[in-house]
Amino acid sequence: MTVRRRRVLAGAAWISGFSLLPRLAELARAAAPLATGPAEPFDFAALVRLARGLSKAPPREFVDETPPQLRALDYDRYRRIVFRPDHALWHDRDLAFRAQFFHLGLFFRQKVRIFEVAEGRAREIAYDPAMFDYGGNRFDPPLPADLGFAGFRLQFHTDFRFDMVAFQGASYFRAVDGRNQYGLSARGLAVDTGLPRPEEFPLFTRFWLVRPAPAETTVTVWALLESRSVTGAYRFLIAPGGRTVMEVEARLFPRRPIERLGIAPLTSMFQCGENDRRVCDDWRPEIHDSDGLALWTGAGERIWRPLVNPAYLRVSSFLDENPRGFGLLQRDQRFESYQDTGARYHLRPGAWVEPLEGWGRGAVMLVEIPTPDETFDNIVAFWKPERPVRGGEELALRYRLVWSADPAPPADLARVRATRIGRGGVVGRPRPPRTAKFVVDFAGGPLSLLPGDAPLVPVVTASHGEIPGNEAAGSRRPGAPAAFTVPEAGIWRVVFDYRWRETRPVDLRLYLRLGHQALSETWLYQWDPPAA
């Protein structure tokens, strides 16, 4: 499961990264993309009927569709192939959007069909080598005339040099915010992620790009999803801006029972941060696309779970009913935390999933996969319904995806700013054995209005082990939970020791209270005590 995931996700990360910087040298022969075949009536209802019908037929066998001369390209030669902007869909119209197409090759070996829909009629867009600048690559024999595409990207009129959204590889897609920087990815669907068997990767096999009206600032994309276990019809209504907002509607048709159906999956990368430096033999302080999972439960609790790069596959479930939202976020947006002028991790957007109708009982699941470096996406979050998914049924889903620096809805609560872990005990004194010190910083919300001597109480619990002095608020016992201001950083800091007896993972929980009122979100952390 891990190897297959890494191949797909590494490709998506690399290709979309350099797709933001196409060569804009002299480009020849301006022409609109060709259309093939007659225009046929088509709408989203027709797509739903198509997906439903395919679910009753034997599943397709997806094979490598790239010719040998493309399979021979290495990374550097493949990246020389760039789309000619003057061949973009809608480039010759006074519209706010343009679409460019990705070439098959490297990690992207499954052809997708792309259609334009105008006035209720769809025409397929044909591959034409004139659409691409091949950067000196030569192919013998020439590439097939019906080669097809690997996906597409959309651009908005504020600057047609930069991507707004890209759909490429399996059912993966990603978006930028107003800072024009890609980060994590989303998927149409996840099937059996994190189970002790190979994961199934559904594919978007056909796309329909609906031509917007001249004054429209939103664009609609329809997509057909196919896999061995499920088919689906997807509608994306995409609105760019300082935040990119997608309203997603999906109709799913499972062919068989699915043990773990992942709704609205998000995929990201976490190699190391201030809380986890297990794999960080690098000159940069931190390396990650996202640093935490944010949850807004159906009961209204706001939760922050810092991400880790574990030594083993780790799957966490956060049970809930009718969740209000969840997301993978990059809260630390300070350049000095990363020192990376190329990857620009400090500008990477987060993504927030907001159900547009009740999802019932289930769990937000977090899958953390060990990764040796930043080229592999190793974090997945999704919603898993409690009700078993049966073959032959139909599922309807609606949710909103928001991509931005701070996509989660605001709350009048302090937020976790940072998590650090070190040796327990007191400096200058004998250190107690099997003890770690946790330091959690909070900022914002009502904390900014409190005096430095406010009697804040850190409420800390552990699933097993001991937190010294936790039996009484305000305990002066060494290692007892304590909250105090750090004026230099504009934060409140909580420090406590944790003493373990067993080396199995411990779940820690913390929030700040003043009197009977919670002033912060809830910090959750799963930690592996060392054997020694």
Tokens linked to 123: 């025409």
What distance in Å separates the CA atoms of residue 453 and residue 392, rounded to the nearest whole number? 62
Inside any domain, residue 409: no
pLDDT value of position 29: 45
Are 192 and 180 in contact by the 8 Å Cβ rule? The answer is no
**pLDDT above 60: residue 208:** yes
- Domain ends where: 385, 404, 423? 404
Name which residue leads in pLDDT, 430 or 495: 495
Q: pLDDT per residue over 25-39, tens digit each?
A: 334 344 555 566 689
Name which residue leads in pLDDT, 20 or 61: 61
Q: pLDDT per residue over 477-487, tens digit each?
A: 778 999 999 99
Confidence tier at 9 by pLDDT (50, 70, 90): very low
- Domain ends where: 369, 404, 439? 404
The amino acid that residue 488 corresponds to is: E
Confidence tier at 470 by pLDDT (50, 70, 90): confident
Are 211 and 90 in contact by the 8 Å Cβ rule? The answer is yes
Same domain, 160 and 308: yes
* CATH number of the domain within which 339 lies: 2.70.98.10
Confidence tier at 532 by pLDDT (50, 70, 90): low
Q: Could you tell me the residue range of the domain that residue 472 belongs to?
A: 415-527
Tell me 144's DSSP state. Answer: P
Same domain, 287 and 321: yes
pLDDT value of position 160: 83
What distance in Å separates the CA atoms of residue 380 and residue 368, rounded to the nearest whole number? 7
> Averaged over 195-200, what is the pLDDT?
93
C-alpha distance from residue 339 to each of 159, 263, 283, 331, 354 (Å): 27, 35, 9, 16, 32
pLDDT value of position 297: 98
Inside any domain, residue 78: yes
| Integer-rounded Cα radius of gyration of the chain | 25
> Averaged over 249-269, what is the pLDDT?
98
Same domain, 353 and 442: no
Tokens linked to 279: 């794999």
* CATH number of the domain within which 432 lies: 2.60.40.10
Strand partners, 514: 517
Same domain, 110 and 56: yes
Q: How many domains does the chain have?
A: 2
C-alpha distance from residue 53 to each of 44, 50, 208, 232, 392 (Å): 14, 5, 18, 10, 11
Same domain, 367 and 240: yes
Closest to 221 in 3D by CA, of 266, 180, 177, 167: 167
What distance in Å separates the CA atoms of residue 398 and residue 234, rounded to the nearest whole number? 10
The pTM assigned to this predicted structure is 0.92
Inside any domain, residue 423: yes
Q: pLDDT per residue over 407-443, tens digit each?
A: 999 999 999 999 999 999 988 888 899 999 999 999 9
pLDDT value of position 5: 37
C-alpha distance from residue 16 to each of 151, 243, 470 (Å): 11, 19, 49
Closest to 343 in 3D by CA, of 181, 527, 138: 181
Same domain, 262 and 335: yes
Q: Which helix (H) or strand (E) holds 6?
A: helix 2-19
C-alpha distance from residue 476 to each of 454, 480, 499 (Å): 17, 7, 17
CA 255, 258, 262, 268 dihedral sign is: negative
Q: pLDDT per residue over 37-93, tens digit each?
A: 689 999 999 999 999 999 999 998 888 889 999 998 999 999 999 999 999 999 989
pLDDT value of position 290: 98
Same domain, 28 and 97: yes
Backbone phi and psi for residue 70, each to the nearest 5 degrees, phi listed first: -80, -35
**pLDDT above 80: residue 348:** yes
Which range is most confident: 57-61, 277-281, 348-352?
A: 348-352
Instruction: Count other Cβ atoms within 10 Å, centred on residue 489.
Output: 12
**pLDDT above 80: residue 522:** yes
Same domain, 399 and 495: no
pLDDT value of position 501: 93
**pLDDT above 60: residue 16:** no
Place of tokens 């007191």: 426
Tell me 452's DSSP state. Answer: T
Least confident of 35-39, 94-98, 150-154: 35-39
Are 178 and 250 in contact by the 8 Å Cβ rule? The answer is no
Same domain, 390 and 445: no
pLDDT value of position 26: 39
Inside any domain, residue 532: no
pLDDT value of position 82: 95
> Averaged over 194-207, what is the pLDDT?
95
Same domain, 394 and 450: no
Inside any domain, residue 424: yes
**DSSP letters for 336-395:** GGT--TTT-GGGPPEEEEEESS---EEEEEEEE---SSTTS--EEEEEEESSPB-TT--E
Q: pLDDT per residue over 365-410, tens digit each?
A: 999 999 999 999 999 999 999 999 999 999 999 999 999 999 999 9
Same domain, 272 and 154: yes
Inside any domain, residue 294: yes
pLDDT value of position 177: 95
Same domain, 390 and 422: no
pLDDT, averaged across the chain: 91
What distance in Å separates the CA atoms of residue 444 and residue 414, rounded to the nearest whole number? 5
Inside any domain, residue 410: no
